[in-house]
A and B are shown apart, each in its own frame.
Chain A
């Protein structure tokens, strides 16, 4: 069955935790074409065409307010929730437009997960329940399945060893860095192919930050990652490709190493060398 059929149908029980038998195989996992996002009169993002490579980390950098978060949120249709936002252009997941009228955003968001700037464990749920929350939505209740998925997701998020003896503790009882890794585990538990990360370490201390940066390197074997960061050094450390945004436009995109050592555009160079932003 082709990709568009799958996006429109219910989720297949096999499609959990990366045992994704219908995974696409081309190098380009996601792609945007002339993506524009407007909030009423104000344009947040204008005509951005970007390719996201499979199993790679793509970083979006730029000064605050340049539209990188707005752009990221268009990937999993988070703008659907804002009444005044209008999205035009295409966002393709393995060639299928995520904004196609027949596709259901609920399904999209299982394929494309998201981690936010503030760690948001559900405070009334235990660590275990937090991780499997997404699975319970789909009606998966068998204890064995949940246990397996929970452990796998927590291992992927490099959190399992620290919490394995206290899975029943409240989600809010962890430290900031642990809570963020819990949020990552929660997002991974539903088996997404793409993970969007919106400034995931900006509210964390340096130690937690580097743990998560390490984590990203191992994660990319399972998922393609798009990360927004206001920290250029972080982009240089973790990403394979980087896109520089400025005032709603994507100025330049390319291989991270080349971009940081030899940027093509003047504005990119100015930003990277700290002349503004």
Chain B
């Protein structure tokens, strides 16, 4: 916007107008320019995040190679100074997929109950309570997990399971791992609870949006209540349901504090079901403050970059699914 020709025409414009018009035109110009600068900042920040993370990560990528880093299974900041991200990628994927698997059906069930069954006074209460779950800070869930859930799980579920396997199925023991309560299973369970609200909210909105004519057509065919939901409502709402599931998954992979507090923080594979593990966010939290060596820091940044890529991919998939699978073409999801 600073070529001489353009500047000349701008000032020409400026002088061509009477003062009142200048006020309007100048005002509009200044306002819109400020607005655009502020808006564009968001673009810059997002791109900046990608750039900065990559830049900080490059020493690690140069040292180990991009794919070497992603697939490397040794993470040793003390002796060998060898950094491979695979344990954390594995941990993130396993915990997130499992958490979604645990959370999906209950979350849809709550959405169906709220949208189709609950009495008019009860539905908003349920919706608000579910949203409240999402609003609880992750650290609060974390401290509850440390002092309440994990000990309970250890005493009521893990230990009995471990003792049973010790007697009846000793081959399972390595897979089960150490039942101290802080580990993959506990973190996954807590994660499942935390991601329910995202699926429920979107699924419920999608169910409410099903046109009543669709439902009436099912009723008129002689369907029972559940059959109407299965025949007319759920298929119509599938876009929203899928979007909700993907959104939940996206939250799961990025969930940091509660997972870090409950997962036991073991950096080496193999992970076991009950025993300690790690995820990408959890290792960043656990090691960043103590990381002194440049290669260590750079490797942690590299993990951040990988996390960025995965989160980006999940978001893009979510947008794509929402566009292609919802009946209304993605606008109302």
- Return the contact of B222 from the options A120, A122, A125, A137 (Cβ within 8 A): A137
- Complex Cα distance, B223 from A116, in Å, reads 16
Say yes or no: A137-B217 contact (C-beta < 8 A), given A109-B222, A124-B238, A124-B327.
no
Give the number of residues in A that approach B within 8 Å (Cβ atoms): 25
The smallest beta-carbon distance between A111 and chain B, in angstroms, is: 9
Chain B residues with CB under 8 Å of A81's CB are 216, 219
Stretch in A53-61, A90-98, A183-191, A208-216 touching the partner: A183-191
Is A78 close to B, CB under 8 A?
yes
The smallest beta-carbon distance between B125 and chain A, in angstroms, is: 19
* Contact indicator per residue, chain B 218-251, by CB within 8 Å of chain A (1) or not (0): 1111111001000110011010000000000000
Is A134 close to B, CB under 8 A?
yes
- Complex Cα distance, B327 from A53, in Å, reads 41
Chain A residues with CB under 8 Å of B286's CB are none
Is B7 close to A, CB under 8 A?
no
- Return the contact of B236 from the options A118, A124, A183, A190 (Cβ within 8 A): A124
Which residue of chain B lies nearest to A130 when distances are taken between CB atoms in the complex?
Answer: B217
* Contact indicator per residue, chain B 54-78, by CB within 8 Å of chain A (1) or not (0): 0000000000000000000000000
A122→B221 contact, CB < 8 A = no
Is B324 close to A, CB under 8 A?
no
B222→A134 contact, CB < 8 A = yes
Say yes or no: A183-B217 contact (C-beta < 8 A), given A122-B235, A137-B231.
yes
Is B213 close to A, CB under 8 A?
yes
Chain A residues with CB under 8 Å of B232's CB are 122
The smallest beta-carbon distance between B331 and chain A, in angstroms, is: 15
Which residue of chain B lies nearest to A107 when distances are taken between CB atoms in the complex?
Answer: B222
Interface class of chain B by DSSP: helix
Give the number of residues in B that approach A within 8 Å (Cβ atoms): 19
- Complex Cα distance, B224 from A109, in Å, reads 11
The smallest beta-carbon distance between B121 and chain A, in angstroms, is: 13
Chain B residues with CB under 8 Å of A133's CB are 218, 221, 231
A116→B236 contact, CB < 8 A = no
Is A123 close to B, CB under 8 A?
yes
The smallest beta-carbon distance between A126 and chain B, in angstroms, is: 12
- Complex Cα distance, B30 from A63, in Å, reads 58
- Complex Cα distance, B213 from A183, in Å, reads 12
The smallest beta-carbon distance between B210 and chain A, in angstroms, is: 11
Which residue of chain A lies nearest to B223 when distances are taken between CB atoms in the complex?
Answer: A137
The smallest beta-carbon distance between A103 and chain B, in angstroms, is: 13
The smallest beta-carbon distance between B248 and chain A, in angstroms, is: 22
Chain A residues with CB under 8 Å of B238's CB are 124
B219→A190 contact, CB < 8 A = no
Is A110 close to B, CB under 8 A?
yes
- Return the contact of A78 from the options B216, B224, B227, B236 (Cβ within 8 A): B216
Chain B residues with CB under 8 Å of A123's CB are 235-236, 327
B235→A187 contact, CB < 8 A = no
- Complex Cα distance, B217 from A81, in Å, reads 12
B214→A122 contact, CB < 8 A = yes
Is A227 close to B, CB under 8 A?
no
B223→A106 contact, CB < 8 A = yes
Say yes or no: A109-B219 contact (C-beta < 8 A), given A120-B214, A124-B236, A124-B327.
yes
Chain A CB within 10 Å, residue with most, of B211, B220, B223: B220
Chain B CB within 10 Å, residue with most, of A110, A120, A134: A120
- Complex Cα distance, B224 from A138, in Å, reads 10
Which residue of chain B lies nearest to A172 when distances are taken between CB atoms in the complex?
Answer: B327
The smallest beta-carbon distance between B107 and chain A, in angstroms, is: 21
The smallest beta-carbon distance between A178 and chain B, in angstroms, is: 16
Chain B residues with CB under 8 Å of A149's CB are none
* Contact indicator per residue, chain B 35-52, by CB within 8 Å of chain A (1) or not (0): 000000000000000000
Is A44 close to B, CB under 8 A?
no
Chain B residues with CB under 8 Å of A187's CB are 220-221
B236→A106 contact, CB < 8 A = no
Which residue of chain B lies nearest to A114 when distances are taken between CB atoms in the complex?
Answer: B220
* Contact indicator per residue, chain A 80-113, by CB within 8 Å of chain B (1) or not (0): 0100000000000000000000000011111001
- Listed by A's residue number, 12 A-B pairs whose Cβ atoms lie within 8 Å are A76-B220, A106-B224, A107-B222, A110-B221, A120-B211, A120-B213, A120-B214, A120-B217, A133-B218, A134-B222, A137-B222, A190-B221
- Chain A residues within CB distance 8 Å of chain B: 76, 78, 81, 106-110, 113-114, 116, 118, 120, 122-125, 133-134, 137-138, 183, 186-187, 190
The 7 closest A-B pairs by CB, nearest first: A124-B235, A114-B220, A109-B222, A134-B221, A110-B222, A120-B217, A120-B213
5 extra A-B contacts, CB within 8 A, seeds A113-B220, A137-B231, A138-B222: A108-B222, A113-B221, A120-B217, A123-B236, A190-B222
